[in-house]
Amino acid sequence: MLFATFCGFLAVSNAWAQSSTVDAYISTESPLAKAGLLANIGPSGSKSSGALSGIVIASPSNVNPDYLYTWTRDSALVFQTIIDQFTLGLDTTLRGEIDNYVGAQAIIQQISNPSGTITTGGLGEPKFNIDETAFTGAWGRPQRDGPALRSNALITWANFLLSENNSTYVTNTLWPIIQNDLNYVAENWNQSTFDLWEEVDSSSFFTTAVQHRSLRQGVQLANAIGQTSVVSSWTTQAENLLCFLQSFWNTAGYITANTGGGRSGKDANTVLASIHTFDAAAGCDVLTFQPCSDAALSNLLTYVDAFRSVYSINSGIAENAAVATGRYPEDSYQGGNPWYLATFAVAEQLYDSLIVWNAQGSLNVTSLSLPFFQLFDSSVAVGTYASSTSTFTTITAGVQDYADGFVEIVAQYTPSYGELSEQYSKTDGSQLSAVDLTWSYASALTAFDARAGITPASWGASNLTSTCGTSTGSGGDTVAVTFNVDATTVFGENIYICGSVDALQNWDPDTALLLSSADYPIWSITINLPASTDIQYKYIRKDGSSITWESDPNMEITTPASGSESYTENDTWR
């Protein structure tokens, strides 16, 4: 008892100390991180090593590891940070950088590369040379999160410009880039992808989550600027993505990061997905795994605890205090150490949660999130706690201290000149792997902003529903059906499908669903259809405004019973 009281006293006093430590760290690190980030952007960044205008280098490191390339993912996350800072009025000097990025991405999209051309899959190429030529070496490709993240950043920019009445630039310059990316997402989300760590070729939660966000945001922008021809097919695929997103939930209480890879699946992938799809207007919505949803908090706890025993710098740290975290506990890349951006992401998810709880004036404890909340109040019970209750005060103060603890870990292992590499040593916290990682700097800035209560623009996560139900992945009363059709086309022609049910657009050729030609001449699409139902359909061929239907009669399928494995229909164009 005496011991417990003593520990409790220490935890509280330490928490106060952490908070002021973090304040001091942020005030020195914030400008250094901003400068470090801008130094890595061409043409004039001091460490950008000759990168062309608007090109973000991943790191100036050109040997062990060689990161002197530009990744579509990293660049988009860096520019999401820059665009948020500019559009939220935090830094009014960044407009020229944003214009340069837009110019560079318009060029990068058109570069033929080992993944294909712009119309045959090239948008999934993960990285390019910094002189805007294709990287032709062996690599984990494609990586299908890149186009989604780029469009998310550009749509944030577009929405700001619309508020400035600059719709000409949005329609003429931004929309063509966004539309290329989102057509790619709509056509290819159901194909396998390398994950954000470029190692596992399967389906990946992060990729699916950011793809879902991109199509929702894209539909809103399309409606806002009158580009409505894409709305129906992008909405259909967004609904399919939201359904698929649920299937990553693991009943052990966390999100399995990848469907392949042969690991535990506990991975910063899922925490990063939560912060990069944060939408405060959606509250603690579980369908989109918002940062304060019970599923995302349970996942956070599982992820953090996976690192307690794998890094020796974490030994001896109390179970309810922050530790260093990395990509995933089985990681061995460059020694398999903690990553700054992963540790910052944990803090950011917690700060995002505090933003919502404070705005809503309450927090919910469910049986799923109970173990998380017990870190801060061992006697807390399932229920709703209004901000007037002492439980709310105790928990939010505890979460703030816990979150600050992750920033303090980073602070402890940041050198005095503020440099952030990719990794810090699991045995002594010293800097390892690529120096000056641009994404590390971006992750510092977004975590600091979230701690200050700064809320990014909404992307439309509110009020969504899924026929799949929440977090079960059971498919409800629908069943996934893949349609493959062998169809030879000429340049400019695409294959679509429509049919007798809502999910097949009720025979409307204008809104028929586009199939993917990734395995040409096989065109393919996966659609969630009502189970145990007779459904008629046809493929159609479109070239601009010209439409050709398959010959009669209609094709027919009886879908399997709900709960069945997915089903594949193989057809040949008639």
Contacting positions for ligand NAG (CB under 6 A):
95, 99, 161, 164-166, 169, 190-192, 203, 243-244, 281, 283-284, 357, 360, 362-364, 384, 462-463, 480, 526, 566, 568-570
Structure tokens at 458: 């909404």
Structure tokens at 262: 């042969």
Of 429 and 460, nearer to ligand NAG (C-beta) is: 460
Of 198 and 201, nearer to ligand NAG (C-beta) is: 201
Nearest approach in angstroms of CB 360 to ligand NAG is 4
Binding-site positions for substrate read 139
Structure tokens at 509: 């050729």
Q: Tell me which H or E stretch contains 10.
A: helix 2-39
Residue 449: CB atoms within 10 A of its CB come to 20
Nearest approach in angstroms of CB 572 to ligand NAG is 12
Of 64 and 165, nearer to ligand NAG (C-beta) is: 165
Binding-site positions read 139
Structure tokens at 167: 């719709």
Are 280 and 216 spatial neighbours (Cβ–Cβ below 8 Å)? no
Nearest approach in angstroms of CB 164 to ligand NAG is 5
Structure tokens at 160: 């700001």
Nearest approach in angstroms of CB 230 to ligand NAG is 21
DSSP string, 319-349: TTS-----S-TT--GGGT--BHHHHHHHHHH
Of 65 and 560, nearer to ligand NAG (C-beta) is: 560
Nearest approach in angstroms of CB 135 to ligand NAG is 25
Distance CA 225, CA 167 (A): 8
Q: Burial of 306 by CB count in 10 Å (0-12 exposed, 13-18 middle, 19+ buried)?
A: buried
Rg of the chain over Cα atoms, rounded to whole angstroms, equals 24
Q: Which of 195, 267, 352, 408 is catalytic?
A: 195
Of 19 and 467, nearer to ligand NAG (C-beta) is: 467
Are 215 and 153 spatial neighbours (Cβ–Cβ below 8 Å)? no
Distance CA 480, CA 529 (A): 6
Are 16 and 398 spatial neighbours (Cβ–Cβ below 8 Å)? no
Between helix 438-451 and helix 2-39 the angle, nearest 10°, is 130
Q: How many residues does the chain have?
A: 574
Distance CA 372, CA 491 (A): 55
Of 186 and 409, nearer to ligand NAG (C-beta) is: 186
Question: Diameter of the chain by CA atoms?
Answer: 84
Are 290 and 356 spatial neighbours (Cβ–Cβ below 8 Å)? yes
Local structure of 460: helix, strand or coil: coil
Nearest approach in angstroms of CB 114 to ligand NAG is 20
Are 274 and 289 spatial neighbours (Cβ–Cβ below 8 Å)? yes
198 labelled catalytic:
yes
Nearest Cα residue to 14 out of 380, 396, 405: 405
Nearest approach in angstroms of CB 356 to ligand NAG is 6
Are 423 and 433 spatial neighbours (Cβ–Cβ below 8 Å)? yes
Q: Which of 91, 198, 201, 477 is catalytic?
A: 198
Of 310 and 380, nearer to ligand NAG (C-beta) is: 380
**Which residues are catalytic, by number?**
195, 198
